[in-house]
Chain A
Amino acid sequence: MRRRYALAALALVAWIAGSTLGVVTPADPKQASAAPLFQFGRAHAEYLPTLSGTRPIFILFIGSGAREGEDVEHSLADSIHIVSLNPARHRAAILGIPRDTWVDIPGYGSGKINTAMVYGGPQLLVQTIESLTGVNLDYWALTTFWGFTKMIYNIGGLTVDVPFPMHDRYSYSDFDPGVQMLNGPDALAFARDRHSLPQGDFGRSENGGRLVVAALTQFRKEFSKDPSRMFTWIAAGIRNVQTDVPLDEVLSLAFTASTVNPKYVQNMVAPGLTGMAGDTSVVNLTADAQTIFQDLRNDGLVLKKNIPPSPNASLLGE
């Protein structure tokens, strides 16, 4: 009997002590039901190690014109895009540079920009573009016709909103307008077609950017449903490109890309006029291109008033 009293006293004291310490709280069904029931519903927790800060990241995307068996890094650069990412603003810009742009190639005099890679690989192309734009490029990534095709295959196809009819026997593009899933060869045809487009290579360059936006859209959609798909995209990318981006940085960029709304990605082509250099047809960038470069140097984005008209405007009904 004395033992039971002792236990009861201990229990009482323990309860008081526990309550005071905030450890043992008495059950109060009314209180419990009135309290927010965090445990019901569909609570969500997320942390993504995205890049931060206002300094934009600049990556040069290059499409090598090499055929199988040729030196990929020392062939003509068929497509050239600067992709800038502003982590703080969760926005990005894609600037296509026409491959025939007449520039100064460091150490080689004047020439078409696409020949810089022939002379000195991606590194010289980077130097050439830095000299042209004043933008410090952080990384480069280089792919080929077959690498690009495999990349699209590895991610299971790419959904693209084809904005206008494209039918071209040279690139094998054969698209009616509308949203469609492109396989590797189709996506390559979409990227290469210039004969269907009124401004040729300018329009093609814009379509290259369109593919980047489509990829971002699809990546975000897949990532939101299944974040582990990020590894599929990274593996598909790195397997099929040559790049100087370290894997850790690729991961950071991928996490950051998942926070960029494709609606806020600017896609444009540096404006220029065709002309001649000797007997060579070239593109001379206009003063408007310099304004775009200046904007990019500032924060990686282009002021709305400085975004040039689409080279495919007539097809888009603009």
Chain B
Amino acid sequence: MWVSGVAVLGVLAFVLFRGGGGLGGPDNTIPQFDFKVTKAIPMVVTQNDPNQFTGQAQAVATEVTKTMTALYTGAFLDPENWRSGSYGDVWPLFDDGSRTSAQQDGATITLGPNAGDTYEKVKQPKGTIGVKVLLDKQDRPSTAVAIVKFTALGTGKDGTFTRIVSRGQYFLRLADGGWTVYAFQVRRGDHVTTPKPGPSGSSSEVAP
């Protein structure tokens, strides 16, 4: 009886704590994040003037940015993901061909399987995205490449700060559920940094 009572309490407490915020547990709030779109370039394979397809490229860039925002939010910013080291909502953004490789390279594509051991918080996300859209022989969008730069500040459990840096290029095409990644080349350049107090008391980074 006593044992089952403890178990029930344990499960209840686990759920409450994992949910974040409740009863003084870890904050599971996802930092607000949007990529800043820097360019949307149409690439034509016909003799037509590329400039007449700028609107089409911008529309594709908007959709591609939604995918990439979801990817980086799930991979780096959602505390439920990085605390657990499980990024289940990220992998469906990759198509069948690239998903397994993405998962195998999970430590680079996401904050990593052990990020929950290292970080207390991840905040200050910033990112830019440039999109090139290759049109087909009928001048319809065929495929796109997203050129992404992303940074965030990780607060370590040991009190150190890490500037999390991900730069990558993701090739996407339109599938049933939207634009999905079918090829990628991603680099991480994380480094230790020293934040200084900002005007509002929040910390901001000192250049290394």
Is A14's CB under 8 angstroms from B10's CB? yes
**Does the CB pair A23–B45 fall under 8 Å?**
no
Stretch at the interface among B28-36, B187-195, B199-207: B187-195
Q: Tell whether, in the assembled complex, residue B191 and residue A239 are in contact, meaning their CB atoms are under 8 Å apart.
A: no
Is the Cβ of B45 less than 8 Å from the Cβ of A47? Answer: no
A28–B102 alpha-carbon span in the complex (Å): 29
Task: Looking at the assembled complex, report how far the CB atom of A281 sits from the nearest CB atom of chain B, in whole angstroms.
Answer: 38
CB contacts (< 8 Å) of A47 on chain B: these are 97-98, 101-102, 105, 183-184
CA distance A162 to B62 in the complex (A): 45
Asked if A29 and B158 make an inter-chain contact with CB atoms under 8 angstroms apart, the answer reads yes
Of the candidates A13, A16, A44, A238, the one having the most CB atoms from chain B within 10 angstroms of its own CB is A13
B190→A13 contact, CB < 8 A? no
Is the Cβ of B45 less than 8 Å from the Cβ of A234?
Answer: yes
Question: By the criterion CB–CB under 8 Å, are A235 and B14 in contact?
Answer: no
CB distance from B116 to the nearest CB of A (A): 6
A-B contact count (CB 8 A): 153
Chain B interface size range: 35 or more
Rounded to whole angstroms, the CA-CA distance of A16 and B17 in the bound complex is: 12
A45 touching B186, Cβ below 8 Å: yes
Report the separation of the CA atoms of residues A43 and B23 in the bound assembly, to the nearest whole angstrom: 38
Interface hits, A11-33 → B, CB 8 Å: 11, 13-14, 16-18, 21, 23-25, 27-29, 31-33
Q: What count of chain A residues pass the 8 Å CB interface test? A: 45
Chain A, range 71-103, C-beta contacts under 8 Å to B = none
| Cα–Cα distance between A47 and B16 once the two chains are bound (Å) | 39
Contact with A along B151-185 (1 / 0, CB 8 A): 00010111000101000110100000000001111
Proximity string of chain B (1-18) to chain A, C-beta cutoff 8 Å, 1 when within and 0 when not:
000001001111110111
Q: Is the CB of A238 within 8 A of B145?
A: no
Measured CA separation A32–B112 after assembly (Å)? 14
Residues from chain B with Cβ under 8 Å of A231 in the complex: 43, 132, 134, 145
**A247–B134 CA distance with the chains assembled, in angstroms:** 10
Contacts of A41 in B (CB 8 A): 188, 190
CA distance A42 to B165 in the complex (A): 10
Q: 23 interchain pairs (CB within 8 A)?
A: A10-B9, A10-B13, A13-B10, A13-B14, A14-B14, A16-B10, A17-B11, A23-B84, A23-B116, A24-B18, A24-B116, A25-B117, A39-B115, A40-B192, A42-B188, A45-B101, A45-B102, A45-B184, A48-B185, A49-B97, A235-B44, A235-B134, A247-B45
